Structure 1
Amino acid sequence: MPTAPEATHTVHLRPRNSHPRWLRLTHWLNAMAVLVMVTSGWRIYNASPLYGFNFPDSITLGGWLGGALQWHFAAMWMLVVVGLLYLMTNVLSGRLSRRFFPLSIKGFFQDLWSALRGRLGHAEVSHYNQVQRVAYLFVMLDITVLVISGLVLWKSVQFPLLRELLGGYDSARHVHFIAMSLLVTFFVVHLVMVALVPKTLWAMIVGHKERL
């Protein structure tokens, strides 16, 4: 008596979304805004140096003080609008709590030690390790400080409370410069990590890294 053929199951391959479209869009827009703000900010700094050095003109944007200010303010509004959209979407969708928490001091140093030895896994790019969580949360805070100190430098009289919280106008200049330096440091490290793990860049461009 013939036996019934065994049932077969068809597996449909589909891309795994590691980064939704809204995240990719706000990521690139924020990156563009930060790049414009930093390079134009260096030109503005050169007009009245805070420390004993100037930035080379070749890496600044604006050509002159007036042009740099126009670029800076345009990018500032873009960063504020897109940054708020990014933050609100993260909070309302629950992504902020899922991707960036929980945090622990022990977990952070364990992941940091693994990263320094090149043993930190990157199998799933949508999963943030403890070092990434701290770094991305720090960037959110750092950009907030940049915007607040920038408002003091731009409209010091209109924002007296912010000015006093930062210790005055001159102190706000130092805070703004330090926050900018920390942000540039993050970007440099971020680019190095992307170079070491190229699939993270691909995921941020197309939204998925592999098929399941």
Structure 2
Amino acid sequence: MISEARVEAAIETIPVPRHIALVRVTHWIIVLSVVGLLVSGIGILVGHPRLYWGETGSLATASLIDLPIPLIIGPSVWYRPYHFFFAWILVLTGLTYMAGSFITHHFRKDLLPAKADLSWNRMLGVALDHLAWKRPDAREAQARQGAASRDAASTYNVVQRLTYLAVVFGLFPAFLWTGLGMSFGMMSVFPILATALGGHQSARTLHFVCVVLLLLFVMVHILMIYLAGFWRTVRAMITGYVPQGGRAR
């Protein structure tokens, strides 16, 4: 006779749906476009590694922040077209993701937190688990909260949901706004884009702050992927499936 342990082991190897095609395709396009933006953005930044506040700024004026990187004059000119190219890919992909998330109910099912999960005790408990590098598997979560729990390890917990919402609907729109605020062409048509931020150079400084926040998110994101099982999580984002009982990022 087949032992119960073998049956359970066989069940755990059955793949279960994890990410819909919309999420997988847009995820990897966004990853590639963000890498392109970072590389080209660094190339632009080394052409003038100083940040200012207000409308104007130059080597002859006082800076808000002097970045500890060497000044290299010239190459930034070549990086700007690439930066705009990847920026529009990111914008179009992001809009596709947002629209598709509502159409496919991905926003409601995977990103919108349940009202019960928004209690301070609940969010603090999940945050402390993350800080302690505790990642309960699906079986443990179901044992504590029931199989119907939205925070089982096979889906996003409340902290992840709030973080993704902040990045998708907060950080990326801020990138777009500050980026357009640096464009003299857009400023000539919509000057409010820059003036609302404090000026052209203020938009550039805030754009840099957005980059720092994105890098912090990416580092934590990769760390959580590692804790959840790096190759299993990456495979899920490629194929859309994870073994039953597998962890999610």
Superposition TM-score tier, normalisation by shorter sequence: 0.7 to 0.9
State which of 76, 81, 88 in structure 2 corresponds to 1:77: 88
Query: CA–CA distance in 2 between the matches of 1:204 and 1:189?
Result: 17
Paired residue type of 1:104: L
Once the two structures are TM-superposed, the CA of residue 101 in structure 1 deviates from its matched residue by 2.0
Select between 69-78 and 89-98 the one with higher mean Cα deviation.
Answer: 89-98
Whether the aligned pair in 2 keeps the contact of 1:24 and 1:207 (CA below 8 Å) is yes
Query: CA–CA distance in 1 between the matches of 2:221 and 2:125?
Result: 19
1:97-176 equivalence runs, <5 A? 97-102=108-113, 104-106=118-120, 107-123=122-138, 126-140=154-168, 141-154=170-183, 155-176=186-207
Gaps of 5+ in 2: 1-10, 52-64, 139-151
Whether the aligned pair in 1 keeps the contact of 2:19 and 2:240 (CA below 8 Å) is yes
**Structure 1 residue aligned with 2:62:** none
SS of match in other structure, 1:156: helix
Once the two structures are aligned, what percentage of the paired residues are identical?
30
**Structure 2 residue aligned with 1:3:** none
Paired residue type of 2:79: A
Q: TM-score, normalised by structure 1?
A: 0.83
Whether the aligned pair in 1 keeps the contact of 2:135 and 2:227 (CA below 8 Å) is no
Count of equivalent residues: 196
Query: CA–CA distance in 2 between the matches of 1:131 and 1:90?
Result: 19
Structure 1 residues 111 and 177, CA gap change in structure 2 (3 angstroms) = same
Give the RMSD, CA atoms, in angstroms: 2.3
Deviations 1:10-55 (A, max 9, x none): x9x9631100112101000001111111221111111122231254
Deviations 1:158-210 (A, max 9, x none): 22121122121121111111011100111111112112222222211111011
SS of match in other structure, 2:189: coil
**Structure 1 residue aligned with 2:31:** 31
Structure 1's consecutive aligned runs of 4 or more residues displaced over 6 angstroms after TM superposition are: none
Query: CA–CA distance in 2 between the matches of 1:162 and 1:105?
Result: 36
Query: CA–CA distance in 2 between the matches of 1:54 and 1:43?
Result: 14
